[in-house]
Amino acid sequence: MPRDVRLLTEPIEPAAEQFAFAMAHPAAGGIASFLGQVRCDEGVEALELRHYGPLTLPGMEALADQALERWDLDGLLVIHRSGRMFPGDAIVLVAAAARHRRDAFAAAEFVMDHLKSESWFWKRELAEGGWRWIEPRRQDFDDIARWN
């Protein structure tokens, strides 16, 4: 299957996922990946991601399909967590396999830029004993604008 898109509440095992993805695409000349994790700085004690179920996974699948249509990929992996996570926990893993590295890099970056600014997740951090909602930054919108 060219795409593997998952929404999980349990931990992501990045090394195992990346290894399995690479083994599933032996003809790829390159695999580019991005791993997002909960920061261990700024006093962050926990991160919580909530989402709207009827839209989240279908939206992630549609995003993966856009990447597959736009670049010549052998495969695409998109795994995103929801729920409560702690510093060092993996939040998101995106990997793209392609014959040529530029397609793999571009597709992975495209998916991450869209997940970061147009996703179906609400994010909040626990720091200094209190929760605060996190909004996309101006840079997130600038990043996604370059794909239009």
pLDDT of residue 44: 92
| Number of structural domains the chain divides into | 1
Q: What is the mean pLDDT of each run of 10 residues along the chain (148 residues)?
A: 92 97 95 95 91 92 96 97 97 97 97 86 92 86 83
Domain carrying residue 125: 3-145
Query: Is this model's pTM higher than 0.85 or not?
Result: yes
pLDDT of residue 76: 98
pLDDT of residue 84: 97
Amino acid at 88: G
CATH at residue 62: 3.90.1170.40
